[in-house]
Structure 1
Amino acid sequence: MDVKKAFIETTMEVLSEFGLPSMFAEKDERDSLVQAEYVNVVMGVYGALSGNLIVTANRESALAIASAMLGGMEFTEVNDMVRSAMGELLNIIAGNAFSRVDIKSAIYISTPTLVVGEGISVLLQRSSTNKFVFNMDGQLMDVLFSVE
């Protein structure tokens, strides 16, 4: 399966498993400088493919995602539990998506790095980045994909 298609399908399936039915809202290509949201998870990819993955969500979306992943717990702030849930979400998505890709060699992923705050920009190592936007009943989450 194509890598981009694998990430779109896997993200929708994983979100649905946590009770967050999502719609694939849009895909666009942008340059390597990404204006991030409040909660950002960055992961390196190396081996048969190399580059970076980022999951980015605003504060409210991150709280809703963490709540769904952790059995309905209520969150009012981005605490360690929310950060952990967002990191684990990218781990699950990346692991499942790369297992669907038609590549004979190994693909490795790094430990997720979380960056939380306002006014964050991320400069990726590749010249172009695919941005996949997912809408979960008004809560948005982006998956940025810069892998070759």
Structure 2
Amino acid sequence: MKVDYINPILIASSKIIKALLQEDITLGRLSLLDSHNLKDSVAIILWMTGDFDGRFIFAIKRNVALQIASAMMGERITELNDMAKSAVAEMATIILGRTGIIFSERGIDVKISYPTLVEGDSVYISTLNPRKRSIINIPLIMSRGNVIDIKIESGDLIRE
């Protein structure tokens, strides 16, 4: 696994979550996955292309998404409406944008897509090409135990 591609997302996530949510994060146990199966969650999907090609899925339980939206909007949010979803998608976009800046500082040229948000009781997001791509799950654990799972799917993560 290439830590050159993993460390920037950890650095960016820590910095942005601290700034936006006033939360410190700890890193949970990284794992390799075969698929993207989410329960009672929202998923923000972003692509990165260039010297690093990959799909990033920010998987967040609905109740955690409400807390994130509340912190970002400065008021208690009780419904995951369009504005709340937009706030959560913006956080993911900012994290990946900061990751792109770190990549650039390290000589890795990338471009980032617009976010796509999906939500559901049971969400399955197909794997693009399981033989040529790895999925690594990075759980970011916030102070109250809330988790943001960042799933990175890329052929650039396969062990050589």
TM-score (norm 2): 0.84
Task: Determine which structure has more spread, i.e. the larger CA radius of gyration.
Answer: 2
By how many angstroms is 1:60 displaced? Answer: 0.9
Question: Which sections of structure 2, spanning at least 5 residues, go unmatched?
Answer: none
**Which amino acid in 2 is paired with 1:59?**
R
Structure 1 contact 51–125 (Cα < 8 Å) conserved: no
Structure 1 contact 60–139 (Cα < 8 Å) conserved: no
Structure 1 contact 45–51 (Cα < 8 Å) conserved: yes
Structure with the higher helix share, 1 or 2: 2
Summarize deviations over 1:76-110 as a string: whole Å, max 9, x none: 12111211011111111111112112234x31111
By how many angstroms is 1:20 displaced? Answer: 1.8
Question: Which sections of structure 1, spanning at least 5 residues, go unmatched?
Answer: none
Q: Distance in 2 between matches of 1:62 and 1:84?
A: 10
Structure 2 contact 58–150 (Cα < 8 Å) conserved: yes
Aligned position for 2:113? 110
Q: What is the CA RMSD across the aligned residues, in angstroms?
A: 1.5
Identity %: 26
Structure 1 contact 40–56 (Cα < 8 Å) conserved: yes
Displacement over 4 Å in runs of 4+:
none
Structure 2 contact 49–112 (Cα < 8 Å) conserved: yes
Aligned position for 1:99? 101
Match of 1:41 among 40, 44, 61: 44
